[in-house]
């Protein structure tokens, strides 16, 4: 009954809005109506007829991965065309939610942030694609981030993870040995301080202001850390103590300056303001492009595994633990029956070896781990080709930053507040963590 009230009001308003628009208007196809190709005829043969499916993407000019996937799929399946609908990169979640609420979302919905998945699944927007995901090869990672109660809602095509970038030239200038894959965070901190004092200009390290640059590691690496549990966040403390020490000793830019001056990590590392930086693997492609265009200085750099919690996971004979969320593709629950087959085929394709190679060639880290993909990735012009860089990019245990849990957004918001309070040193570590825990428990309880 309540639903009727709401829809009645909406219909009423829509009717009057229609009257107002009679004088002119756009070429907008009304939401939800099937596209021209599928209205006529009751032909049931799915594969024979040409099908067009739509897919969401963002910043198409600087993010070519969607078009690459669409083109590669079309080349392999000439009957199916994938059309990309562009969204704004920074407001993707909001705009997608609005389109979903109006029934105007595309057939294939790209999952930009794993955090949003739960809300969309609750709202009945995404199709169960367990059959597609269970059919994926065993070398595809990241599907776990899209699993709720044992059901898969998206297939990952991209899996970034966090690594350590370092400036070889600055290390040489300071006369300090570059990372060798055996570092714990304490080694990292000691080197950062040494670098800073020897370089006398550039800082030893740069840590961007996001909460994930610290909490992501603490949560992925600390044994027993339980983000979704809402009980105990004291595992963050050693990580904060180390970073505050670095900040106070001037070995990394102060959080206050980063946040108030809106510093960009691309500028800090690319213009050689810092010798080391923990950042996601996506930055490889950006740095290559910026060095080529002159936007970044030209210097030699390398990639090392991210420093570890303790020595039990360090060294190139072990698997370093890091974190990262995948990017995946989901299917709109309201998709036209005739397009379903094609959409599922596209999901499976995006997580295949062939797609992985196509993505790797443009610098995207595919969710597929295979020799062919790695070879394609390191075929990019200008990419560091040393063994440690290859090891860092291909060998890691990547834990999800946002494990699926009904309260994950609320938890992350509260911990984000703690992050800014601690890093700006406007409250103590214990105090801020206690406040966050209290807030989270009020939310969960």
Partner 1 sequence: MTTQPIASAQLSAQPGAVPTGRGQGRRRRSSLRWHNTLRGWSFIAPNFIGFAVLTLVPIVVLFYVALTKWGALGDPEWIGLDNFVKLFTRDPRFNTALWNTLYYTALHMPLTLAASLGLAVLLNQRIRGAAFFRTTAFFPYITSIVAIAMVWNLLFSPDYGPINQILRFFGVDNPPGWTVSSTWAMPAVIVVGTWREMGYYMLLFLAGLQTVPRELYEAARVDGAGAWSRFWHVTVPCLRPTTFFVTVMLTIGSMKVFDLVFVMTEGGPGRSTLVISQLIWQQAFVEGDFGYASAIAVVLFAICLILTIFQFWVNRRVER
Partner 2 sequence: MSRAGRKRRSIGSRIGLVALYGGLAAAAVFLLLPFFWMISSSLKPDNQVFTVPVRWFPEVFKWSNYVDIWTKSGMADWLKNTMILSVVVTALQVFTGSFAAYGFSRIRFPGRDVLFLGYIATIAVPWQAYMIPQYKMMAAAGLVDTLWSIILLQAFGAFGVFLMKQFYETIPEELSESGRLDGLSEYGIYRRIMLPLSVPAIASLSLLMFVTTWNDFLGPRLYLRTPAHFTIQVGLKVFQADPQGSSMYGLMFTGSVLSVVPIALIFMAGQRYFIEGIATTGMKG
Query: 6 vs 45, which CB is nearer to partner 1?
Result: 6
Nearest to 308 by CA among 295, 319, 296: 319
429 vs 231: CA distance, rounded Å? 16
81: exposed, middle or buried (Cβ count in 10 Å: 0-12, 13-18, 19+): middle
Query: 1 vs 381, which CB is nearer to partner 1?
Result: 1
Contact between 103 and partner 2 by CB under 8 A: the answer reads yes
Minimum Å distance from CB 184 to partner 2?
27
**Strand stretches in 350-408, DSSP E:** 397-399
Query: 50 vs 103, which CB is nearer to partner 1?
Result: 103
Chain positions 284 to 343 lying near partner 2, rule: CB under 8 A, are 286, 289-290, 294-296
Angle between helices 429-444 and 408-423 (to 10 degrees): 160
Element of type H or E holding 172: helix 168-174
The dihedral built from the CA positions of residue 258, 259, 260 and 262, taken in this order, carries a sign that is: positive
Minimum Å distance from CB 99 to partner 2?
8
In this chain, which of 283, 323, 349, 377 binds partner 2, going by CB under 8 A? 283
Convert residues 352-391 into a mask of x (bound to partner 2 by CB under 8 A) and - (unbound): ----------------------------------------
| Region of 125-133, 257-265, 370-378, 392-400 interacting with partner 2 (CB under 8 A) | 257-265
Query: 181 vs 328, which CB is nearer to partner 2?
Result: 328
Query: 148 vs 254, which CB is nearer to partner 2?
Result: 254
Minimum Å distance from CB 271 to partner 2?
6
Nearest to 77 by CA among 327, 352, 381: 352
138 CB neighbour count, 10 Å cutoff: 6
Interacting residue ranges for partner 1, rule: CB under 8 A: 2-3, 5-6, 9-10, 12-13, 16-17, 20, 93-94, 97, 100-101, 116, 118-120, 122-125, 255-257, 259-262, 409-410, 413, 417-418, 420-421, 423-427, 432, 435, 438-439, 442, 445
DSSP string covering 92-154? HHHHHHHHHHTT---SEEEES-GGGHHHHHHTT-B---HHHHHTS-TTB--GGGGEETTEE--
Residue 31 interacting partner from partner 1, partner 2, none (CB closer than 5 to 8 Å by kind)? partner 2
Element of type H or E holding 328: strand 326-331
Contact between 441 and partner 2 by CB under 8 A: the answer reads no
Chain positions 9 to 68 lying near partner 2, rule: CB under 8 A, are 10-11, 13-14, 17-18, 20-21, 24-26, 28, 30-31, 58-59, 61-63
- Quote the DSSP letter at residue 332: B
SS3 84: strand
Nearest to 233 by CA among 426, 445, 416: 416
Residues that bind partner 2 (CB under 8 A): 10-11, 13-14, 17-18, 20-21, 24-26, 28, 30-31, 58-59, 61-63, 85-92, 94-95, 97-98, 101-104, 112, 160, 210, 253, 257-258, 261-264, 266-267, 270-271, 280, 282-283, 286, 289-290, 294-296
């Amino acid at each position: 009954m309540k639903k009727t009230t709401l829809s009645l009001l909406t219909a009423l308003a829509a009717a009057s809005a229609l009257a107002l628009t009679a004088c002119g208007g756009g070429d907008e196809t009304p939401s939800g109506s099937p596209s021209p190709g599928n209205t006529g005829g009751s032909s049931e043969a799915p594969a024979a007829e040409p099908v067009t499916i739509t897919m969401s993407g963002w910043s198409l000019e600087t993010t070519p991965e969607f078009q690459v996937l669409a083109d590669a799929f079309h080349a392999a399946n000439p009957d199916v065309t994938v059309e990309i609908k562009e969204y704004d990169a920074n407001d993707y979640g909001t705009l997608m939610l609005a389109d979903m609420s109006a029934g105007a979302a595309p057939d294939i919905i790209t999952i930009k942030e794993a955090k949003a998945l739960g809300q969309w699944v609750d709202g009945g927007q995404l199709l169960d694609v367990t059959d597609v995901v269970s059919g994926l090869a065993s070398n595809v990672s990241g599907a776990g981030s899209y699993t709720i109660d044992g059901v898969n809602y998206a297939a990952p095509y991209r899996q970034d993870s966090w690594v350590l970038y370092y400036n070889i030239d600055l290390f040489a200038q300071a006369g300090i040995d570059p990372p060798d894959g055996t570092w714990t965070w304490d080694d990292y901190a000691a080197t950062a301080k040494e670098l800073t004092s020897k370089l006398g200009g550039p800082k030893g390290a740069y840590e961007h202001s996001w909460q994930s640059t610290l909490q992501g590691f603490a949560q992925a690496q600390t044994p027993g850390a339980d983000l979704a549990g809402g009980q105990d966040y004291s595992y963050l403390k050693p990580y904060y103590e180390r970073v505050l020490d670095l900040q106070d000793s001037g070995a990394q830019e102060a959080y206050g300056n980063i946040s108030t001056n809106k510093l960009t990590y691309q500028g800090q590392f690319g213009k050689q303001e810092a010798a080391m930086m923990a950042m996601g693997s996506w930055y490889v492609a950006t740095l290559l492009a910026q060095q080529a265009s002159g936007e970044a200085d030209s210097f030699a750099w390398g990639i090392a595994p991210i420093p570890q919690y303790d020595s039990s996971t360090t060294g190139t004979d072990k698997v370093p633990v890091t974190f990262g969320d995948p990017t995946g593709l989901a299917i709109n629950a309201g998709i036209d029956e005739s397009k379903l087959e094609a959409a599922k085929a596209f999901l499976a394709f995006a997580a295949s070896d062939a797609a992985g190679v196509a993505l790797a060639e443009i610098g995207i880290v595919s969710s597929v781990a295979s020799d062919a993909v790695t070879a394609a990735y390191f075929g990019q012009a200008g990419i560091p080709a040393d063994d440690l860089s290859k090891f860092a990019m291909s060998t890691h245990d990547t834990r999800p930053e946002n494990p699926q849990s009904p309260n994950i957004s609320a938890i992350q918001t509260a911990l984000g507040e703690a992050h800014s309070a601690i890093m700006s040193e406007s409250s103590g570590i214990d105090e801020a963590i206690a406040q966050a825990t209290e807030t989270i428990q009020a939310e969960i309880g």
